[in-house]
Amino acid sequence: MAVKSISPDILDRLKQTAPEISFVEQTQISCDGGNGALGHPRVFYTIGDEGYVECQYCDRAFVYAPRQGLPA
């Protein structure tokens, strides 16, 4: 099953609520908070049909954006 593109409405909501948005080309990602010793345990996520996933620790959003040009 292919992951669909994220809708503009959801992207707008993430821009307002997520502290950071990372655009990724893979559907399997990991997050460790990005702050070294001040981060959080490394967790792994799979981006599903929604086209994005949010980290349960730090609320960083990972948006699936395959090679069709990653947003700035």
Interatomic CA distance for residues 70 and 17, integer angstroms:
20
Asked if residue 2 is part of any domain, the answer here is no
Which residue's entry shows tokens 């947003």?
A: 71
Name beta bridge partners: 28.
Answer: 46
Question: Residue 56 is part of which domain span?
Answer: 8-64
Q: Is residue 31 part of a domain?
A: yes
Indicate the pTM of the whole model. 0.82
Whichever domain contains 59, its CATH number is 2.60.260.40
Cβ–Cβ < 8 Å for 16, 58: no
Per-residue pLDDT tens digits for 10-50:
899 999 999 999 999 999 999 999 877 788 999 999 999 99
Q: What angle do CA 61, 66, 69 make, to 5 degrees?
A: 95
Q: How many domains is the chain partitioned into structurally? A: 1
